């Protein structure tokens, strides 16, 4: 039938709805409301693209809080505050040639030590000069 969305797991009809979903990480949890298609026969759910992104952002924020690290947005904000390109930040602060690109896109998780360094530099950007090699 046209207009119906069928669950690829169990074959039941999926219903458009907004529901609360619990995200968990290392025993910590957060609730987020998500708009999507929910299966009437099993627990399968499909999210529209924007909602999938919101879900990932919420999980990333939870993980950053639990692990004591920075979110991709925080990494980007601090790097820009320091006046560094992603490439220059990687060369100067470490982590590999594309590390900041990966941190800021959420492809790779920032380490606690790098997060701590960025927090220190965020609080006192003048300390960046101490890290620049003297010519």
Convert the pLDDT of each residue in 54-102 to its tens digit: 998 999 999 999 999 999 999 999 999 999 999 999 999 998 889 999 9
Question: Domains in the chain, start-ordered, CATH in brackets?
Answer: 5-67 (3.10.20.860), 72-131 (1.10.260.40)
45: exposed, middle or buried (C-beta count within 10 Å: 0-12, 13-18, 19+)?
Answer: middle
Among candidate residues 104, 87, 105, the one with its CA nearest the CA of residue 96: 87
pLDDT of amino acid 98:
94
Contacts of residue 76, defined as CB under 8 A and 6 or more positions apart, other chains included, come to: 104
**Global pTM value:** 0.76
pLDDT at 1 over 50: no
Q: For the chain, give the number of residues.
A: 135
Q: How far apart are CA 121 and CA 115, in angstroms?
A: 10
Among candidate residues 35, 24, 120, 22, the one with its CA nearest the CA of residue 70: 120
pLDDT of amino acid 95:
87
């Amino acid at each position: 039938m046209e207009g119906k969305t069928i669950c690829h797991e169990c074959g039941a009809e999926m219903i458009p709805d907004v529901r609360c979903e619990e995200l968990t990480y290392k025993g910590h949890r957060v609730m987020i409301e998500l708009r999507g298609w929910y299966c009437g026969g099993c627990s399968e759910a499909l999210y529209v693209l924007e909602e999938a992104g919101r879900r990932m952002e919420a999980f990333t924020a939870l993980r950053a809080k639990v692990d004591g690290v920075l979110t991709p947005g925080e990494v980007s904000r601090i790097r820009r505050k320091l006046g560094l390109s992603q490439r220059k930040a990687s060369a100067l602060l470490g982590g590999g040639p594309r590390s900041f690109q990966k941190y800021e896109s959420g492809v790779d998780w920032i380490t606690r030590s790098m997060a701590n360094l960025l927090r220190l530099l965020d609080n006192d950007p003048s300390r960046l000069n101490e890290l620049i090699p003297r010519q």
